[in-house]
Amino acid sequence: MEKRILDPETVQSFQTAILENYHASGRSFPWRTTRNPYHILVSEMMLQQTQTERVVPKYTRWLEVFPDARTLSQASLQDVYKEWMGLGYNRRARYLQETCRIITETYNGAIPSDPEQLDALPGIGPYTARAISTFAFGLPNVFIETNIRSVYIFFFYPEVQEVTDKEILELIEQTQYLPDPRTWYYALMDYGAVLKKKTANPNRKSAHYQTQSRFEGSNRQARGAVLKYLGIHGDAAVSVIADHSGIPAERLDIAVKGLVHEGFVAESDGIYRISR
């Protein structure tokens, strides 16, 4: 599809609609009241694939236990998993700790503002890197996530199917509110959150739309059960975890072998523990 160019009037009208909605009914989250790069890093890692309502109490507690990158880098992996528990996708906890170790050792504890440097850190992809750069340092990066995607499809592609992120990113770049990129992206996300409650999900028109896989009976559920048990109770055999969790030992055995292979869990004579 040929690149779409928006006229100045369309851009201004769009910006006004988004910002007016934000100033009237924008959401409030603790990570929006800070520009501390470490706090923003923690929030963005937690918000990957986890709903905001579940993140708020975990974010607050996390910063009490691990107030800075150096403290997190020196913590035991078992303590890290214990505090992460309940957020799901537990490998993010390890990535966050590994990232903080690199930040401590390579950047003397100072989180970089350059998206390319951020993108090179464990567990931080293109979106998270640019989100941290914008929300912590106020830089005008171009990035997309599910709520932002919804907004652009709703406004600019109401009758189009299979809209690509490439097309949307071109419009995001054209419509950036340069006086305050941080507020602009918060406003876009909040407008998208409202859209999903009031209309059929616009993201269904995206070429990248996927429904979330079932959690019950999944390998992700089994992995989470292993890490949860080991994080709370310490070393254990698969049979013990199976008795406690109600998940068949056969499924847990597959999950725990994957965790050992990835370095999250260590094994000795059939007894498993969180890697140190």
Range 121-149 average pLDDT: 97
Assign domain 36-137 to its CATH superfamily: Hypothetical protein; domain 2 (1.10.340.30)
DSSP-assigned letters across all residues of 218-258: SHHHHHHHHHHHHHHH-SB-HHHHHHHH---HHHHHHHHHH
Residue pLDDT, tens place only, 65-114: 999 999 999 999 989 999 999 898 888 999 999 999 999 999 999 999 99
Residue pLDDT, tens place only, 15-65: 999 999 999 999 999 999 999 999 999 999 999 989 999 999 999 999 999
Architecture of domain 219-274: Orthogonal Bundle (1.10)
Q: Is the pLDDT of residue 201 over 80?
A: no
DSSP-assigned letters across all residues of 152-212: HHHHH-TT-SSB-HHHHHHHHHHT--TT-HHHHHHHHHHHHHHHHHHSS-GGGGBTT--PP
Query: Is the Cα dihedral 15, 35, 116, 94 positive or negative?
Result: negative
170 is catalytic: no
More confident residue, 234 or 186: 186
More confident residue, 154 or 234: 154
Residue 207: pLDDT band (50, 70, 90) is low
Show Cβ contacts of residue 206 under 8 Å, excluding neighbours closer than 6 positions. 149, 153, 162, 163, 164, 165
Burial status of residue 198 (CB atoms within 10 A of its CB: 0-12, 13-18, 19 or more): exposed
Tell me the pTM. Answer: 0.81
Q: Where are the domains of the chain?
A: 8-27+141-205, 36-137, 219-274
Q: What integer best gives the mean pLDDT of the chain?
A: 91
pLDDT at site 206: 61
Question: Active site residue: 2, 20, 44, 250, which one?
Answer: 44
Contact 187, 26 (CB under 8 A): yes
Q: What percent of the chain has pLDDT over 90?
A: 64
pLDDT at site 261: 85
Residue 268 forms beta bridges with which residues?
Answer: 271
Considering 27-41, 160-174, 184-198, 209-223, the range whose residues carry the highest mean pLDDT is: 27-41
pLDDT at site 257: 87
Q: What is the C-alpha separation between 68 and 247, in angstroms, rounded?
A: 36
Contact 226, 252 (CB under 8 A): yes
pLDDT at site 237: 87
Residue 259: pLDDT band (50, 70, 90) is confident
**What is the b/e burial string over 91-116, where b = at least 16 CB atoms within 10 angstroms of the residue's CB?**
bbbbbbbbbbbebbeeeeeebbeebe
